[in-house]
Amino acid sequence: MSVAAYKRTISHTEAPRQIERRLLAQVTSELEQQYRAFDEAEQRFDRLQLLADGLRHTLWKNQMIWMTFKMDLSSKDNKMTPDLRASLLSLAIWVDKHTQGVMAGGKTVRPLIDINRSIIDGLGGKAFDTAAE
C-alpha cells in the first residue's frame, strides 16, 4: 500500500481526536527515549550536543503538533467551550516558550512530556485527577 493510500485509509478510519492522540503519543514516546540524558547533563555543551544528535528534531515535531493545536483552537469553527479553548491556548503558548528554553540548553524536557501525557489522557477520555497532586 502506498503512503498516500495509507494516509487516506487512516483519515477515513480514525476520528480527528484519535489522530491527535496517536501523533502526540508518538512524539512523546520519542521524547521519553531522549530526555533523561539531556535533563541530567550538567554542561550546556553536552545538552547542545544532544540537541544536535536528534533531540532538536523531536522537539520540532512536538512544536509542530502544538502549533496545529493552536491553529485549531484559534479557529472560529472550533466547538470547544471558550474557557477550555483559552486554557489549551495558554498551554500551547507555554509549550512553545518552554521548548525554546530547552533548545537554548537552559530548560529540561520532562515538563513537556508531562504536559503531553496529560493531553494524551484527555484525548483518550481519561479525566485529570487533581486530587492526586
Residue 1 lies in a domain: no
pLDDT, residue 127, reads 54
pTM: 0.81
Residue 43 lies in a domain: yes
Q: What is the pLDDT of residues 72-129, one digit of tens each?
A: 999 999 999 999 999 999 999 999 999 999 999 899 999 999 999 999 999 888 654 4
Residue 8 lies in a domain: no
Q: By C-alpha distance, which of 47, 56, 68, 62 is closest to 117?
A: 62
Residue 121 lies in a domain: yes
Domain count, the chain: 1
**Type of residue at 19:** I
Residue 67 lies in a domain: yes
Residue 85 lies in a domain: yes
Q: What is the pLDDT of residues 31-65, one digit of tens each?
A: 999 999 999 998 989 999 999 999 999 999 999 99
Inter-CA distances, 35 with 4, 66, 79, 104, 121, Å = 32, 18, 34, 15, 20
Determine contact, residues 31/113, Cβ cutoff 8 Å: yes
Residue 117: which domain range? 16-126
Give me 27's grid cell: 512524539
